[in-house]
Amino acid sequence: MTLRFYDTASAEVRDFVPLEDGKASVYYCGATVQGMPHVGHVRSAIAFDQLTRWLEFRGLRVTVVRNVTDIDDKILAKSQQSFGPDWDAEPTAKHAEEWWALAYRYEQEFEKAYESLGVQRPTYEPRATGHIPEMHALIQRLIDRGHAYPALDDSGDVYFDVRSWSKYGSLTRQNIDDMQGAADADPRGKRDARDFALWKGYKEGEPVTAKWDSPWGAGRPGWHLECSAMVTKYLGTRFDIHGGGLDLRFPHHENEMAQSQAAGDEFANFWMHNGMVTFEGEKMSKSIGNTVSPAEMLELASPRVVRYYLGQAHYRSVLDYRPTSLQEAAAAVERIDGFISKATAKVGRDAVEIAPQSAMPAAFIAAMDDDLNVPQALGVLHETVRAGNTALASGDLEATKAALDSVMSMTEVLGLDSVTQPEATRGREHAALEVLVEAQLQARAAARASKDWAASDAIRDTLAAAGVVVEDGADGATWSLKRD
């Protein structure tokens, strides 16, 4: 097994050798739950779900951590909009919502989006607010090592001293003198405008529920600190892969890496970042009205089609959305599912099984091993579908069965089989549907045998109206469900 992944830190594709034999540890940044999930969130989750599934397929026991940022400036701002300008006053509007309630509500929306598109639940999904002691300990380590300091203005803030760490900027290959401080950052209390907050002192007017006691005064954690504290708690001070969207490289991941390594942790062995989603070549932006949400996509197509679309590009590339994108994805899924349905009817449902690793095409394995080259892997999948259809047409049952096993195995490892209903429910419903449809097909066959063409056509039309596609062949009629 030779797995190779692109490492952002070294800017090269490197051989992936797990730090612990037979195991892999993956952390990728989850949501800041201040609003509904957008398509970028979901694309990232699907990319790292594909990574996890492939590592597991390659025989590794994978521990996955995906955090939830449930305390943040934006969360507080969104909540304050519902309360009005005075946090201390009793809310009078029916829509007024505490910051923690707002965060939890949106967290559930993210979980729904992930589940609907077949993203496996992580091993652990820690919330930032549940790890304040670990954050305090990390801050103290940085202070003790000379890399952090309490604010000069007694505000209760604590900052990371970027100039104290000679490797600052290495992840994104930037020179510190060419960087600018955050445009909206308050420079008071800092030694350098580029220093970033590890701890934010409580400010008058903020909700009292959004502060925690600390050695430096009451306050709340900085965004970058949260991930460093959580990942090391669950994966240790050295782990295999840290991932997230490309937009997180700077400043979030740059700062995260700097503070963790400055504290003495080796931290991530690989940094992996997925590309952005654009709209007809332009960055999606609410201000110009060219955004499309996962919910909107799911109104236009089935979850299986949406997952196919969001997962079809190489994870590092830009994924461009166009009005026809879901239609094209639906056509591709229809070709795959059409073959599965016909081949299953031919070989018999009891004979269908997920193929063992030895049955998966070598070209598919090679593509996935090579930095998760999903576009190339999908090419192998569709070529196998074409070969399977040829075998079906020629009546080669053995070749049909081999192609079907391979196709089923490839769709499973890509997560395309995980966007449907739970297995037990799906099995019962399909069994009931199969009995009903087969009864109709038998009635239709009897009508055709007696040359009652009107009855035969009526049965076919009734099935078609219910979304059941009937195809007549030399061996009788077969059926499949019409796909979105």
Q: What is the pLDDT of residue 66?
A: 98
E strand or H helix that includes residue 230: helix 223-235
- Token pair for 400: 């049909």
pLDDT digits (tens, 9 = 90+) for 13-68: 999 999 999 999 999 999 999 999 999 999 999 999 999 999 999 999 999 999 99
Q: What is the pLDDT of residue 429?
A: 52
* C-beta of residue 201 within 8 angstroms of C-beta of residue 155: yes
Residue 42 has a CB neighbour count (10 Å cut-off) of 25
Which residues, 6 or more positions from 368, have their beta carbon under 8 angstroms from its beta carbon? 54, 57, 374, 377, 413
Tell the CATH superfamily of the 4-275 domain: HUPs (3.40.50.620)
Question: What does the DSSP 8-state code read for residue 212?
Answer: B
Place of tokens 């909009």: 81
Q: What is the pLDDT of residue 428?
A: 46
Q: What is the pLDDT of residue 419?
A: 76
- pLDDT more than 70, % of the chain: 88
Q: What is the pLDDT of residue 181?
A: 60
Q: What are the percentages of helix, strand and coil residues in the chain, rounded to 5?
A: 50, 15, 35
Could you tell me where in the chain the CATH 1.20.120.640 domains are found?
Answer: 282-413
Could you tell me where in the chain the CATH 3.40.50.620 domains are found?
Answer: 4-275
Q: What is the pLDDT of residue 427?
A: 42
Q: What is the pLDDT of residue 415?
A: 95
Distance CA 103, CA 78 (A): 10
Distance CA 262, CA 260 (A): 5
Degrees, nearest 5: CA angle 16-272-2: 20
Average pLDDT per run of 10 along the chain, which is 484 residues long? Answer: 93 98 97 93 97 97 98 92 60 70 96 96 98 98 98 91 96 91 62 95 93 97 96 98 97 98 98 95 81 91 96 97 95 95 82 66 97 98 98 94 94 86 43 73 84 86 84 70 59
Q: What is the pLDDT of residue 430?
A: 53
Distance CA 29, CA 262 (A): 21
* C-beta of residue 78 within 8 angstroms of C-beta of residue 4: no
* C-beta of residue 444 within 8 angstroms of C-beta of residue 479: no
- Token pair for 207: 């909700």
CA trace torsion 433, 482, 116, 404 (10° rounding): 80
Using alpha carbons, select from 117, 118, 97 the residue that is nearest to residue 34. 97
CATH assignment, 282-413? 1.20.120.640
| Cα–Cα distance list, 471 to 135, 265, 331, 477 (Å) | 63, 62, 18, 5
| 189-214: burial string, b at 16+ Cβ within 10 Å, e else | bbeeebbbbbbbbbeeebbeebbbeb
Model pTM?
0.85
